[in-house]
Copies of this chain bind each other. A is one copy, B any other.
Amino acid sequence: MRVASVFAQPFAAWRVWAPRRVCRRCLSQKTGRSVAQMLQWKPAEKVDGVVVNGYVRSVRAMKTHHFISLTDGSSLAPLQAVVPADHAEGLTVGTAVRLTGAWVASSGKAQSHEMQVEKVDVLGPSDPKTFPIQKKYMTPDYLRTIPHLRPRTTMNSILLRLRSDVIACLTQYFADRSFTQTHPPIITSSDCEGAGEVFTLMPASDAAAAESGDSATTRAAQEHFFRSRKYLTVSTQLHLEALAQSVGNVWTLSPVFRAEKSDTSRHLSEFYMLEAEMTFVDDLGPVMDLAEDMLRHLSISLYNSASVNDLLSRPKQLGQDLAPADDVRRRWEGFMLQNWPRITYTDAMKVLKDAADKFEHKPDWGTGLQSEHEKYLAEVIGGGSRPVFVTNYPRDIKAFYMRESQTQPNGPDAATPGATVDCFDLLVPEFCEIAGGSMREHRLDPLLQAMKRHGLEGPGAEVLNWYVDLRRWGCPPHGGFGVGFDRLLSYLSGVQSIRDIVSFPRWFGRCDC
């Protein structure tokens, strides 16, 4: 068994990206300081005339004063404000307020400073009796029924900040490495990439006309707008390949769509994919190097950020629907490790067969890996910490565009019972596949043969003519990978259902707001 464990790292971490959430004087003058900025501000002497905006999270009414916890989504910890009882009218849970007063050292233990409020402006009143966000525990199912209000919970504001930090970090990562960020199309002409059921689209007015029931109208409407039926993209890869032939290495963070009629915690009808494509690479090595280095860079850059710190240090009752904080911390630390193991599918199959009695589904060369198999490999090969690349899957269970393996014998012998392709799945502990990639077949004739094998010839397949065309004039070896961006965020946050990492999740039967 070959488990390559030492690889030269192709990219140094030239610059560790760090989110800046510090006081910006000019911005603060216009809009007040954020709660996060206030909590970092520890002047030795009382400062008057300070303005803070936010929402009332809780109120503790005393005889002469009310103690207000104020939040604005910028930090896990709230700001404590002391409001004279005669100023506290309208300060109910959920209210949007502007507080003006003094910032002074606090006598309490909870935070170093507190606000002694002199002026209260109620900017947006809130009736706590009807406010659907309660301080008590709310189930994920309940919160999903109010996606427009759900972002206001503390945990969801942390998840929004985490998403933003990850986007900014990766944008800088790719810019520093001369990868061109691109906007491949969302509406596409192809429905035959094999990535699942697709959506088609038409103008709403035509759909309404078609609903009148006249079948001629229906057909005319469906054929009309783009002259033939078009689809929402399931992956930007094919178009990325065209763009890579222009400017070399490219990447994108783009929404993709699946019309699967499935109702699981792992599937959405709309989600973001990060996809990267490298040109002039001869084999899968540099592609895997990039995926590994990107995720390692991400974890190193953000591990000490405010959003990750809030995520890992949240009180237990706040994150009771998340994976335990210690488990999530191990995921971040796993990404930081060097030398992620790489194992071929064929070798992995041997490992699985040696443990066949552990599985419900018997491992069998030529079939896909089941979730239980992937979990076992992550545990045994990755030691439960390092992500694991499984490479060179059988040709017949992978997409038509993957290049046949160059580095493994393809003939039917004992070690390799059939043809394989230069591809990889990246498995992480507990969570299974988090990324997948491959070399693309860049030679015209082998691509046409592969398409024939996959039934992609004749009527219907002409929508891929442009993709074949890319091979006709100067197509270098190239390959790339895709990461389910929302799945990655789920993994790194410990959110158990992908429906809870996306602000407005869409799945079979559900599209609220």
Contact = CB atoms under 8 A, between A and B. Distances in A.
A69 interface: no
B151 A187 contact: no
Nearest to A212: B215
Interface in A224-254: 225-227, 229-232, 239, 242-243, 245-249, 254
Given A27-B11, A178-B21, A246 B152 contact: yes
Nearest to A470: B148
A185 interface: yes
Contacts of A261: 203, 225
Contact of A151 (B151, B225, B242, B475): B242
A365 B479 CA distance: 58
A53 B280 contact: yes
A131 B165 CA distance: 44
A294 B189 CA distance: 36
Contacts of A384: none
Contacts of A176: 20, 24
Nearest to A468: B148
A215 B217 CA distance: 11
A503 B239 contact: yes
A422 to B, nearest CB: 16
Contacts of A219: 211, 213
Interface stretch (A41-49, A154-162, A330-338, A407-415): A154-162
A67 interface: no
A476 B53 contact: yes
Interface in A171-198: 171-172, 175-189, 191, 197-198
A292 B386 CA distance: 46
A342 interface: no
A178 B73 CA distance: 12
A280 B477 CA distance: 52
A167 B178 contact: no
Contact of A178 (B20, B270, B502): B20
Given A248-B72, A513-B188, A27 B178 contact: yes
B211 A203 contact: no
Contacts of A248: 34, 72-74
Contact of A11 (B26, B125, B157): B26
A100 interface: no
A137 interface: no
B204 A199 contact: yes
Contacts of A53: 279-280, 476
A322 to B, nearest CB: 18
Nearest to A245: B152
Contacts of A504: 184-185, 239
Given A189-B513, A207-B229, 15 more contacts: A10-B29, A10-B30, A31-B278, A31-B281, A31-B286, A126-B474, A127-B473, A133-B473, A157-B247, A161-B247, A164-B175, A187-B257, A189-B511, A213-B215, A225-B508
7 contacts: A30-B286, A124-B474, A127-B472, A149-B469, A187-B269, A200-B203, A211-B222
Q: What 3 pairs across the A-B complex have the smallest Cβ distances?
A: A151-B246, A213-B215, A73-B247
